[in-house]
Chains A and B, each alone.
Chain A
Amino acid sequence: VIAVIDAGVGNVGSVTRWLERENLEFVRVKNACELIDYKTLILCGVSSLNNCVSALEKSGFMSVIRDVAKEPSARILGICLGMHLCFSEGSEGGISKCLDLLEGNVIPVGEGMLTSTPRTNVGWRTIESVYDCLNEQDANLRKLVGELNLEKAFFCHSFAVNISSETVLKYRFGTRDFSAVHVRNNVMGVQFHPEKSGRVGTLIADYWLRRR
């Protein structure tokens, strides 16, 4: 059973409808102390990072998520803002200390680029595998990356993550590549919205959540 964290922020409704379409069993968890019973967690997107961190701190979710992530059998999926939450800190809406489960920097998407580059990335983009990750031990992940390579996914964000050794899929925005999917052990962050990306979402549901 998948636990969808519901701290009153994020597009929880869209994510739960996606899970329904994919025939995955889930519960909306509003109480942090209930979270410890679950091994698969989803952190939803759509909010500003500062606002989301405050809501999760206030409801006691932050420390429980860190505890669950220590379990080798657990799996965490962070979507868009949920992905940013998995890094050590972010600056959207003010500096916020985050979960520190993934390695990388969250920066404004147009930072350091020409003024002809938009400040937000809204729309469909092609995602591309980072070939280093094809040596990945996890056969499941390797297969997922292979299937997602060159697929189109829906992005809607104004902050993005630089590519690091944990990036398995990337996308191009302006003159730079950014991380589209970031994985470390049992934590996966996806910058796009799998719940709105059709086949891409189904593949993530199959390989990461259902563990086909």
Chain B
Amino acid sequence: VLMRWIVKILIKGKSAYQSVGFSDYIYLGCALNVCRTVSEMFPDEIALYFLDRNIDLKFTSKLIGYIDSPCSVSWCWGRNLNDVDKIYGTGVERLIFNLGSAYTADAINAISNRYGLSSCVLQINVYRKSGTLEVLKSRHHPNTSNVDLHRFLLGDSAFSSLVDNAGECIFQSVDAEGAFGDVDKQMIELVGQKYAFQTPFVFSGGFSEDTAAALDCEYHPMLNGIASSAMHFFSNFTLNGMRIDIKSVARS
């Protein structure tokens, strides 16, 4: 298995941002320029995270046009298949569905039947709360509660049908997301030990030697790679202080 490195670019309006834990956004530059710059470095995959509730489809299509690498899109709007059709229509290969969004297992199943299983990616947001790791069930539905990551990994029936209908899962540590030298080692270990599904997964959130070590030792047969922010990807070229030497498959 060739571990791949997915570069995440956060987009608000027509600009690209960097953040830690999805707060305190730092402006990186014009989204078109950032996408083009990253694309020219031949990453294994680029994931665009649209942070606005409304997406400018024309702009999205133009943005994806700058990307030569495989591309996936995460967005927080849209609650029906028509919205999904529109976003696939921009030329993206894969869509990332947030577990915290309102999509049900049936909806994910309908989408994977229409676009193929491998085009459907399920993102699982993991939070640290009083020392334990929890999976955010739904941000938009106040009546639902978070679930312990341990229970989730053992195949909680509410989630297993969602995971089974996805082509890949992203375990995203929200607290460590975008941080340098800080990765949720406990999340990596727990997922590596307990994950019992046949859907491959990637780790996301923070970037450190622990992440590199997790990939080097082929942590789990379903592990496909890591996702990290654009700044982590840039740093591999510019910050000599970081001794992380994961090479993008496409660049090697």
**B112 within 8 Å of A (CB atoms):** yes
- Is A120 within 8 A of B200, CB to CB? yes
Cα A46 to Cα B1 with chains together (Å): 22
Asked if B144 lies at the interface with its beta carbon under 8 angstroms from chain A, I say no
Contacts of B249 in A (CB 8 A): 123-124, 152
* A70 in contact (CB, < 8 A): no
Assess whether A47 is in contact with B116, with CB atoms less than 8 Å apart: yes
Q: With contacts A123-B2, A124-B250 known, is A196 near B221, CB below 8 A?
A: no
Interface of B, helix, strand, loop or mixed by DSSP:
loop
A11 on the interface (CB 8 Å rule)?
Answer: yes
Tell me, yes or no, whether A158 is within 8 Å of chain B by CB.
Answer: yes
Indicate which residue in A51, A116, A126 contacts B2 across the interface (CB closer than 8 Å). A126
B78 at the interface (CB under 8 A from A): no
Q: Given contacts A46-B116, A193-B93, are A122 and B167 in contact (CB under 8 A)?
A: yes
0 or 1 for each of B1-39: is its CB under 8 Å from A? (1 = yes): 111100000000000000000000000000000000000
B232 within 8 A of A: no
* Given contacts A13-B91, A152-B250, A124 and B4 within 8 Å (CB-CB): yes
Bound complex: CA A110 to CA B1 (Å): 14
Please give me the residue from chain A that is nearest to B64 by CB atom.
A13
Chain B: which residue is nearest A124 at the CB level? B249
CB-nearest residue of chain B to A152: B249
Shortest distance in angstroms between B201's beta carbon and chain A's nearest beta carbon? 9
* A143 contacts chain B at the CB level, 8 A cutoff: no
Given known pairs A122-B200, A125-B2, the reply for A48 and B221 (CB within 8 Å) is no
**Interface contacts beyond A48-B113, A196-B93: sample of 9 additional A-B pairs, CB < 8 Å, sorted by A:** A46-B93, A81-B116, A119-B199, A122-B118, A123-B4, A124-B4, A125-B2, A154-B250, A156-B94
Residues of B within 8 A of A (CB): 1-4, 42, 44-45, 61, 64-65, 68-71, 88-94, 112-119, 167-168, 198-200, 221-222, 224-225, 249-250, 252
**Which residues of A are at the interface with B, using a C-beta cutoff of 8 A?**
11-14, 17, 21, 46-48, 50-51, 81, 92-93, 110, 115-126, 152, 154, 156-158, 193, 196, 198
